[in-house]
Structure 1
Amino acid sequence: MSETIKILTIQDISCYGQCSITVALPVVSAFGIETAILPSAVLSTHTSGFEGFTVRDLTEDLPEIRKHWEKEGIYFDAIYTGFIASADQMDYIKDIIDSRLKPDGLVFVDPAMADHGEFYNGFDQEFADKMGELCKLGDYILPNTTEACYLLHKPWKEEFTKEEMLEIASELSDFTNKYVILKGDTHKENNLGMIVFNKEDSSAEFVFNEKVDYVSHGTGDVFASSFVGSTMLGKSPTQAAKIAGEFTKIAIEKTVGDENHKYGVKFEQAIPEIYHLLKSV
């Protein structure tokens, strides 16, 4: 029997709303991967579309959890970071990566901090610069175009040309050890795509999925989690991007038409498709 793959995901728990750990835990687990969690914060809901949400910052808990894991000899094959509650948490997370990741382990950083040209509630350029430092520990970084622009101190716009996307992806390679997965390419009509940029040889591949005209919170987490799962099962970055894009599209399609479900996508209904996607890509 092969050894179990173990992943740690570090991001917040939104008690209501499909994002962060409530997406990452079931999606990565659905790939047959043992998934541990380290909550950066606990929120009553996510921060998009809800007012008056509560937040409990768990920064002070992070070093104590790390110490206990060290005592127990707990290590991970990969560490996957998402929504980080504050800049103060970054150094603790770096310590966890340094001490709890296996020598040949992988780091995935989804710099979840902005979208549609704006920071999420409570974040600013100082936070983005700190996030850039965390990205540099990553083997794979998965920003959207807004996050990419904040990392690079560039102005954002709704649409970038193919050449502009390639330039951004190339510049982002300074923030990763291996690959940039830049999401949000729109230069191909009726499709939404991403660039898979290989730092080693500066090569780039475009991956496209049919665009679904629907906007929802949490799709970045659905994409990142299925990308992580696919990669850990041996898929190449381009294959993993294709699987993640298609899985996210299916989850969106399951949600379209339900006007009462604007707080996330019905990724749970797409989970049975993972087996078929892994076989077909």
Structure 2
Amino acid sequence: MNDTTKILTIQDISCFGQCSITVALPVVSAFGIETAILPSAVLSTHTSGFTDFTVRDLTEDLPEIRKHWEKEGIDFEAIYTGFIASIEQLDYIKDIIDSRLKQDGLVFVDPAMADNGEFYSVFDQEFADKMGELCKLGDFILPNTTEACFILHRPWKAKFTKEEMLEIAEELSQFTKRYVILKGYENENNELGMIVLDKVESTVEIVYNDKVDYMSHGTGDVFASSFVGSVMVGKTPAQAAKIAGEFTKKAIEKTIGDEKHTYGVKFEQVIPELQDLLKTF
């Protein structure tokens, strides 16, 4: 990374609720990286735990924004995608990657569409199949087990064995240029593991963090954003997974006990600890 490194993140803006761009922009920026945004939609709140939220789909804006950037010569060292609002947007995003990513730039795809065995309410299998095509443009893909199973047309279950996780990661390697970061493995020591597979070097590592028994919206975005930032400042994928896992755990720990704070995790309060994590791992 140099002092002019620019990342584009493409995902929704939830005006209230700690997720998507409201996580990605501050977290990636905290690594000293200039972060541009391309909103896929604007929501009054995120979709978990809220009712009657408003949604403005920005599908038609994406190609016009790309054209303006082309005219201005704006391009990026990395593109990081998260929650995409419609199946039509996936083709527009491919065009943006083709035209606005610098040569040798990196693509990070977080296929944010499902969790706990179910699609988010706006997605279905057709979307998952199309998301699989976008993943193939990614240098890094970061699915949870539910998203992985939908992409692979595999049955999902709450817990997978180590052997099953490794098998899923291997199957996912056909959907990435190089790295699979598969989240959601829990071992017998109550640790959460991330499978880090490098299909170019034919290596697999499992990176562990202590599990915190707390469920919250937005933790996947906290993990993905801190992973992206860590890679962009020179950490290996395994180191980045460890840093992202620890950062997410610290954000969860800051949130536990606040019964009014059910819509996300207090990641802002642990951003000052990122530099210590970078030095530790």
Answer yes or no: same fold by TM over 0.5: yes
The letter for the 1-side match of 2:100 is: R
Q: Paired residue for 1:76?
A: 76
- Return the offset for 1:237: 0.3
Structure 2 residues not aligned, in runs of 5+? none
> TM-score by structure 2 length?
0.99
Q: Paired residue for 1:52?
A: 52
- Return the offset for 1:210: 0.5
> What per-residue deviation string (whole Å, max 9, x for no partner) do you get for residues 164-204 of structure 1?
00000000000000100000001242111110011113321
Q: In the TM superposition, what are the counterparts of 1:1-281 in structure 2 within 5 Å?
A: 2-281=2-281
CA contact (8 A) 1:227 1:240 kept: yes
Partner SS state of residue 11, structure 1: strand
> TM-score by structure 1 length?
0.99
- Return the offset for 1:261: 0.5
Instruction: Tell me, in whole angstroms, the C-alpha distance in 1 between the residues paired with 2:32 and 2:80.
Output: 16
Partner SS state of residue 104, structure 2: strand
The letter for the 2-side match of 1:279 is: K
Change (3 A) 1:206 1:36: same
- Return the offset for 1:273: 0.6
Partner SS state of residue 165, structure 2: helix
Instruction: Tell me, in whole angstroms, the C-alpha distance in 2 between the residues paired with 1:94 and 1:2.
Output: 26
- Return the offset for 1:4: 1.5
Structure 1 residues not aligned, in runs of 5+? none
Partner SS state of residue 108, structure 1: strand
Instruction: Tell me, in whole angstroms, the C-alpha distance in 1 between the residues paired with 2:48 and 2:114.
Output: 11
- Return the offset for 1:13: 0.2
Instruction: Tell me, in whole angstroms, the C-alpha distance in 2 between the residues paired with 1:151 and 1:259.
Output: 35
- Return the offset for 1:2: 4.3
Instruction: Tell me, in whole angstroms, the C-alpha distance in 1 between the residues paired with 2:8 and 2:232.
Output: 12
Instruction: Tell me, in whole angstroms, the C-alpha distance in 1 between the residues paired with 2:69 and 2:247.
Output: 33
Partner SS state of residue 59, structure 1: coil
CA contact (8 A) 1:160 1:187 kept: no
CA contact (8 A) 1:43 1:56 kept: yes
CA contact (8 A) 1:16 1:46 kept: yes
For this pair of structures, how many residues does the alignment match?
281
CA contact (8 A) 1:170 1:202 kept: no
The letter for the 2-side match of 1:130 is: K
Instruction: Tell me, in whole angstroms, the C-alpha distance in 1 between the residues paired with 2:102 and 2:3.
Output: 14
Instruction: Tell me, in whole angstroms, the C-alpha distance in 2 between the residues paired with 1:97 and 1:188.
Output: 41
Q: Which moved more, 1:189-198 or 1:5-14?
A: 189-198
Instruction: Tell me, in whole angstroms, the C-alpha distance in 2 between the residues paired with 1:63 and 1:211.
Output: 41
Instruction: Tell me, in whole angstroms, the C-alpha distance in 2 between the residues paired with 1:4 and 1:115.
Output: 36
Instruction: Tell me, in whole angstroms, the C-alpha distance in 2 between the residues paired with 1:158 and 1:203.
Output: 26
Misfit runs of 4+, over 3 Å: none
- Return the offset for 1:109: 0.0
> What per-residue deviation string (whole Å, max 9, x for no partner) do you get for residues 98-138 of structure 1?
00000010000000000000000110000000000000000
